[in-house]
Amino acid sequence: MSNQKIALVTGATSGIGLEIAGGLIRQGFTVLGVGRRQSALNQIQEQFPEHFVPQLADLSDLEQVKALAKSYPFERLDVLIHNAGGANGSRQVGPQGFELTWVVNYLSPFLLTKLLEPQLRKSSSARIIHLASTAHYHGKLDWGNLQAERGYFILKAYAQSKLAQVMHTLYLSKKWNASKDPKIYAVHPGVVKTHIGSKNSAGWMGAIWNAITLFKGISVQEGADNSLWLSTLPEDQLPASGSYFHRRKITKPSAAARNEADTTRLFQETEELLERFLL
């Protein structure tokens, strides 16, 4: 285990996450895969009994995110992939009262990164990968309404959460030392044939989402490519930390994501919001 790379992949039981987990294992990694269904985790472990470590956790519950980090079984972590995500047709809240899209797409990855930072720093070439989205280009932070208590709309909530994810990536890349600290990236996997939006969206919105993925969607293999590529690049070939990728090409994030005053404010407000989970 000492020389074997270790990765943690959220949302590892289906879609892009499953493809990433399998791809990393085939390239010699041990993968701690996080999912909400024990039966699905068990099936993957049966397929990769020596290299897949199942971890049951619901990332809509921040207490479970904290427990996940506390129970992490290895001394170091080489790759942390925030793949789990969601979108909801109507406003829903998690156990702590936070809006679910905001929790799963932004707060949980933020908290998990913070809690696993000591293990990441023990790796000689640690990297963190957010599966973001071009939806962030349409996102806008509604500072007085980040929990979407007023005027909830699925696409607005999703775009805001993905914008926050990219902003988190850019903030940490500037805060951390470029040569010594973990590298952090955001990738757009493409419009992939998964059920991220339609499974929680009834009626016409779910139908539209299904139509888009059916006619424009790429395969999960294509969607996983950016993440697998960045996870396995030799350290001396890694792009600059904070880079945003689409199809292995660095792409400029939105102007909103690059607003340093806003990224600093968001980071500070999020730390204050999550303070009780960091103790």
How far from chain centre, in Å, is Cα 244?
13
Q: How many CB atoms lie within 10 A of CB 142?
A: 15
How far from chain centre, in Å, is Cα 233?
19
H helix count then E strand count, the chain = 10, 8
Residue 212 within a domain? yes
Residue 161 within a domain? yes
Residue 68 within a domain? yes
What confidence tens digit (pLDDT) does each residue in 16-71 have?
A: 999 999 999 999 999 999 999 999 999 999 999 999 999 999 999 999 999 999 99
CATH number at residue 213: 3.40.50.720
Task: Look up the domain containing 11 and give its range.
Answer: 6-273
- In the set 106, 158, 185, 244, the catalytic residue is 158
Q: By mean pLDDT, which of 53-62, 115-124, 198-207, 266-275 is the weakest?
A: 198-207
pLDDT at 203 over 60: no
Average pLDDT on 245-269 reads 97
Kindly indicate the confidence band of residue 197, based on its pLDDT and cuts at 50, 70 and 90.
very low
pLDDT at 204 over 90: no
Residue 154 within a domain? yes
Q: Which residue has the higher pLDDT, 179 or 32?
A: 32
Residue 1 within a domain? no
Mean pLDDT (the chain) is 91
CA distance 46 to 131: 27
pLDDT at 182 over 80: yes
Quick one: pLDDT at residue 220? 85
Kindly indicate the confidence band of residue 239, based on its pLDDT and cuts at 50, 70 and 90.
very high
DSSP alpha helix (H) spans, the chain: 15-26, 38-47, 62-70, 100-102, 108-115, 117-121, 154-175, 203-216, 220-232, 260-273
SS3 of 250, please?
A: strand
Residue type, 179: S
Average pLDDT on 213-231 reads 80
Tokens of 231: 């996870």
Average pLDDT on 215-237 reads 87
Residue 215 within a domain? yes
Quick one: pLDDT at residue 208? 52
Judge whether 185 counts as a catalytic residue: no
Kindly indicate the confidence band of residue 279, based on its pLDDT and cuts at 50, 70 and 90.
confident
Q: By mean pLDDT, which of 36-40, 88-92, 210-214, 216-220 is the weakest?
A: 210-214
Residue 221 within a domain? yes
How many CA atoms lie within 13 Å of 166's alpha carbon, on the beta-carbon side? Answer: 29
* CB 182 within 8 Å of CB 128: yes
Kindly indicate the confidence band of residue 206, based on its pLDDT and cuts at 50, 70 and 90.
low
Quick one: pLDDT at residue 215? 52
Quick one: pLDDT at residue 3? 78
Quick one: pLDDT at residue 209? 46
Residue 39 within a domain? yes
Kindly indicate the confidence band of residue 194, based on its pLDDT and cuts at 50, 70 and 90.
low
pLDDT at 138 over 60: yes
What's the domain count of the chain?
Answer: 1
